[in-house]
Amino acid sequence: MSSPNNAPTILWLDPLEPLGVSEHAQLTAAGLAIHCIHTLDDLQTALQNQQAQCLAIRHDPTYSLLESAKELFRTVGDSLPLICRVDRRQMNLAVDAMRQGAAFALATDDWSAASWQTAAEAAHAQVKEQALKAINSVVPSYKAQRAPSQPATAEPIQRKLVYVDPISRHLLALAQRVAQANVTALIEGPTGAGKEILARVLHESSARANGPFVGLNCAALPEQLIDDMLFGHEKGAFTGAQKDFKGLFEQAQGGTLFLDEIGEMPLHLQAKLLRVLQERQLTRLGAERTVLVDVRVVAATNKDLRTAMAAREFREDLYFRISTFKLRVPPLRERPGDILPLVAALLIRHGGEGRQFSVSAEAQTQLLAYGWPGNVRELENVVQRAVVLCNGPCIEAQHLMFDDLAPTQGVATCAAPNLPPSPTVLREPFDIHLPDSAPGEPQTFVPQQVAANLQAAVKSNEHQLILAAIQSTDSRMEAAKKLGISPRTLRYKLAKLKGEPAQASAQASSFAMAT
């Protein structure tokens, strides 16, 4: 597609009213070439002849043009980026259009050159992104036609953000659209899903991009500190206030203030925050004069604020003040198209200089099959572990160690990492003679496979090692030496073993008497 400065051709389809002469002249002056069509048959012909770079339609549920155009795209096997024109009284349809994949949405009475140039640029960016994904994907899909032994190379990501899954692309486009309006926004989503990254998108895509981006986690500080951090204080306002302090609202002047975990903010601070948002001015602690603030507030939460309102834990008036526009970041399991590109980006970040990794087909399958209860944050942990465990250039399935916080979500079982043998870890069953065994008949003591918790697992392994040393040596001194501990420490541990289950206790007692 040509750049917007080279007069891209836009197909114009509006069943309600034709494009007027003056409006056509305004669009032409904006650097656009308009080709009016009247039916879907005209659209199909234009697609076949490749006559345009994007399609502008009126989005109205009565005429279902958006759905009809998308269906035609599927039938023909080709598509154009969509610019949806929406009646200003039905701007909720703009959100619907963006969620359905439109590149841009604007009001039907908006003929400004800036708006239409932005729309054309958004359409151009959508085509470019889809082409890059199709031609040079970050990580080849595990479904690609290749031999199972052929690894997938993690190639460098050119973009700063990873929004590859269709759901993520629509969310990104919607966020960039919302960024153009100077309204407060509320980002909802689970922990670790990337809410702060989306908040930065809102900032960097807005007219405030050259201003500061200041963030505060409302759950990370005591309420007294949150008050001071947000609104500041004057010198001498309290003991220890040796100089004036500008709060985060003042630090974010001309930019964006990001309030993470806003659902954890104490109620009395919610009232103070509401007043600042309404009046656009604040008073520092200990001050007499007010300070005007020019700040866009973006809030985020992993809580259901409506439930919190019902429980009187969150103010209803503040909720409606901060949620002028709501964006939801889905959990990672709902956008699987992002998983492998994120892995590639994280391998570049954590792989170290000079190290290049590929991801095997089996490892990709497991990454895509896992439920990711910890979202992107958990994915980063898994990638960092794989980098530590992998000695070669290819990440294999045995290098993946999942947290597995939600076993009901169906994670593919992965092999234990291939670590070098350790003297404190038992790799195989071993034989010991227990008191109830027949003479000359060894009884196999198999290490416990599943422990209730880490402490139980450590205790189990320790007991097994002690019993193995007892079986294979003739004295306490030899057993202690084999275990790498002092005879005194061994006596202490044998004394503790006497209080354990019958077999271990009997073995410890018999060994103690023999030595």
Helix (H) / strand (E) element for 215: namely: strand 213-217
User: Can you tell me the distance from the alpha carbon of 255 to that of 294, in angstroms, rounded to the nearest whole number?
Assistant: 8
Q: Given this model, what pLDDT does residue 15 score?
A: 75
Which residues of the chain form CATH 3.40.50.300? 166-328
Cα separation, 73 vs 55, in Å, equals 12
- Give start-end residues of each CATH 1.10.8.60 domain in the chain: 336-409
Separation in Å, CA 294 to CA 80, 195, 202, 273: 39, 23, 16, 14
User: Angle of helix 454-472 relative to helix 502-514, nearest 10 degrees?
Assistant: 40
Place of tokens 């502008």: 56
* Residue 428 pLDDT: 30
How much is the pLDDT for 110?
85
Domain with CATH 1.10.10 in the chain: 430-514
**483 CB-near residues (< 8 Å, 6+ apart):** 465, 466, 469, 490
pLDDT at position 130: 64
* Rounded Cα distance, 120 and 117, in Å: 5
Instruction: Give phi and psi for 150, each to the nearest 5.
Output: -80, 115
Mean pLDDT by 10 residues, the chain (515 residues): 57 84 87 86 80 83 79 78 85 77 85 85 75 44 37 37 85 91 92 92 92 89 80 82 86 94 91 92 87 93 93 93 93 91 87 80 91 92 90 89 55 36 29 33 32 46 72 76 74 69 48 45
Instruction: Locate CATH 3.40.50.2300 in the chain.
Output: 4-135
pLDDT for 391: 85
Superfamily of domain 4-135: Response regulator (3.40.50.2300)
- Determine the Cα–Cα distance for residues 130 and 126; give it in Å rounded to an integer: 6
Of the options 3.40.1710, 1.10.3470, 3.30.70, 1.10.10, the CATH number for the domain spanning 430-514: 1.10.10
250 CB contacts (<8 Å, ≥6 apart)?
Answer: 232, 282, 291, 293
Query: 0.85 cut: is pTM over it?
Result: no
Which H or E run includes 472?
helix 454-472
| Residue type, position 101, single letter | G
Cα 367 to Cα 84: distance, rounded to the nearest angstrom: 37
Q: At the topology level of CATH, where does 166-328 sit?
A: Rossmann fold (3.40.50)
Q: Please work out, in degrees rounded to the nearest 5, the angle formed at the alpha carbon of residue 417 by the alpha carbons of 411 and 422.
A: 145
What's the Cα-to-Cα distance from 143 to each of 364, 379, 400, 512, rounded to whole Å?
Answer: 9, 21, 19, 61
CATH tag for 336-409 (out of 1.20.272.10, 2.40.50.100, 1.10.8.60, 2.30.30.40) = 1.10.8.60
How far is 429 from 422, CA to CA, in rounded Å? 15
Task: Identify the pLDDT of residue 153.
Answer: 37
**Cβ distance 268 to 285 under 8 Å?**
no
